Amino acid sequence: MKKAFEPVNLVRLPMSCPWQGNRGDRMTDLVKVIELKKLRPRRGVAVRVQDIEVAVFLIGEQVHVIENLCPHQHIPVLADGELEGNILTCPMHGWQFDVTSGSCVHASGGLRTFPVQIVKGDVMIPMPEEEKPSWW
């Protein structure tokens, strides 16, 4: 009896793809935002990272990074906002956000937040290679 198919030799593939660590896994590529020593407690700093402006805050020993755009009218002013505890107040319209979660205090929606890693004294965040603002 003739077989309907011929067996195929299995090919062993490497455990990692050649593009890993080189833009293959774009969300894990870390990008430097600012040196940790340049941050002051409870004072926001606006920094452009690739095509996005972020606001960086030092609260206690924790660093928080959010997109610097107020979702109300997409104005990059949040780094200049007033911070009380974890609550940031937009200097333009008074909207309030929790910088740890990005959630809006009095309305639905919120801000884009970025996970932070400190590497050799630098504040680092993961950033896709081709990024668009959250309102795009």
Q: What is the pLDDT of residues 24-51, one digit of tens each?
A: 334 458 999 999 999 999 999 999 998 8
CA pair distance 23, 125, nearest whole angstrom = 15
For the domain 31-126, what is the CATH superfamily, name and number? Rieske [2Fe-2S] iron-sulphur domain (2.102.10.10)
Give me the mean pLDDT over the 52-69 stretch: 96
Q: What is the pLDDT of residue 4?
A: 52
Q: Give the pLDDT confidence score for residue 24 in this predicted structure.
A: 36
Beta bridge partners of 34: 123
* Residue-range domain boundaries for the chain: 31-126
